[in-house]
Chains A and B, each alone.
Chain A
Amino acid sequence: MKEFALIFRLKDIADFKPSPEQMQERMNWLAGIAAQNKLVDKGNTLLPVKGSAKVVKADRVVTDGPYTEIKEFISGYVIIRAENIDEAVEIAKGNPIFEQVGGNIEIREVLKRD
């Protein structure tokens, strides 16, 4: 078994606050992975809002954001266990955000340090 990080990106900051029904669907999806004993880490939500998001760029230039309406931003991640990347992709395809609000999920194999 390998581990994969699923990194969620949303397109619009308005989508960040899901309705209770959307929340329930997302929880069902996450718990469904846990029910297969394939959830390594339920991860965290990454707040995109003012005061919670900054970027340090070259020459240590600090910018606010990315709480913007025009470009996609990372909203969170989870880490799952799967035989291979194809299985991880299938799991990601089941995520309800595609029906709910759009956005994308990036799948990256985890290479452990040490």
Chain B
Amino acid sequence: MGATSSHNNLLPHLFRQEYAKMTAVICRHFGLNHIAVAEDIASDTFLKASEHWALNGIPENPVAWLYAVAKNKAKDYLRHLHVVQNHSERNNSLVEEPAIDVEIDERIIRDSQLAMIFAVCNPAIPPEGQICLALQVLCGFSLQEISNAFLTNRETIKKRLQRARQHLRNNEFSLEHLSEKHIASRLDTVLKTIYLLFNEGYFSETHPSAIRKDLCSEAVRLALILTENSLTCTPKVNALLALMCFQISRLEARINAEGKTVLFEEQDRKMWDQQMINLGNYYLIAATEGNDISKYHLEAGIAYWHTTEDKNKWQHILRLYNQLILIEYSPMTALSRAFAISKVYGNSEAISEVEKLQLDSIYHYYALLGYLHSTIDKKKAIENYEKAISLTTSPAAKQRLTEEMARLQ
């Protein structure tokens, strides 16, 4: 009984981690246009594991067991292919079976996974398709899990995946030889996909916290794979990792027991994960090699200052936001920058800055104005909070804004 319940716990966890790796390794043998075959073999392997382990208990080395089974299934498939081909050539005499070798070792597993990341992050696939594909192919998420993560129905996700997979299959991309050319031309897309994946987990106000943590840790896992290869361990990759580590250090403090977002200033600093902050510092230092200053560097710098108690930290943060908005405009960066202005120059100054932004279609705009007015003009603050509430569909955001308003009345 004990064995059964522990195998029930172990399998889904292993499944996620190993399914994606296994698919990549098998795909390396069969080519990307046969990705479906590779996925079938990986699924069959896990199915066999669930049956076998339930009866016989968990083997001593579950991962090695899985790969041994997968390897045999891959060989069977190649043998079957061989027979079918011979048959179609009307060659009925018994042919000697070719030496079929499916090589699997740690290096191959690592290289295949890295190559698969670059295969998935094809600039021809739209970003949302890429993230779905990454979750499916690189992270082993099921269709249902991806639909849950995006709060979208299965059909929509299915279509998105179908289109994305078409690109993947038709792609002249060899998993066996990940070229420097491919790395150079796709690394930015890879980083963007990882960044979006992380943000989907970190900033969403609607996901249950378990899904949010999953998405964040998957993003980190993918970035870590990039750091293991000297060609892909660039300052930008380290900067993105630093950013994610700093953000994750606050993940526990950021979501309360009811799954609601706790604002930065109200977070219990004792809940910040010092180990993640140290890791963030480590990667931030690694990111300073070379002269490249990417948006990941700037965002990591901002996240770093947030972890400190330095009396000039908001000056530093504002300076970094200034640089960030010059590199890439985004409404959220513009609003965050205005918040930093309020910390350095006061709320009135920030209000006039926010009012220039013309972002009156997003609720964060009015939420920030509400916050800034709250120390100056309560009536205006409430008006802005009301507008913010009318613009958001997120129940969590509505509730938080209502609470803010109640505090003023």
Contacts and interface: CB of A to CB of B under 8 A. Distances in A.
Interface size on B, as a range, is: 10 to 19
A31 B337 contact: yes
A32 interface: yes
Given A35-B334, A35-B338, A36-B334, A30 B322 contact: yes
B274 to A, nearest CB: 32
A31 B328 CA distance: 11
Nearest to B356: A36
The majority secondary structure among interface residues of chain A is: helix
B353 A32 contact: yes
A43 B391 CA distance: 37
A24 B340 CA distance: 14
Nearest to A94: B356
B357 A31 contact: no
Nearest to A90: B356
Contacts of B323: 31
A108 to B, nearest CB: 22
A27 B337 CA distance: 12
Contact of B353 (A27, A30, A35, A42): A35
B271 to A, nearest CB: 32
A32 B329 contact: no
Interface in B332-347: 333-334, 337-338, 341
A30 B326 CA distance: 8
A35 B332 CA distance: 10
A69 to B, nearest CB: 31
A36 B331 CA distance: 9
A39 B334 contact: no
Given A31-B326, A34-B329, A37-B329, A24 B337 contact: no
B321 interface: yes
Nearest to B321: A31
Interface string A13-57: 000000000001001101110111101001000000000000000
B391 to A, nearest CB: 19
A30 B329 CA distance: 13
28 contacts: A24-B315, A28-B318, A28-B322, A30-B322, A30-B326, A31-B322, A31-B323, A31-B325, A31-B326, A31-B337, A32-B353, A32-B356, A34-B325, A34-B329, A35-B325, A35-B329, A35-B333, A35-B337, A35-B353, A35-B357, A36-B334, A36-B356, A36-B358, A37-B329, A37-B334, A39-B326, A39-B329, A42-B326
Interface of A: 24, 27-28, 30-32, 34-37, 39, 42
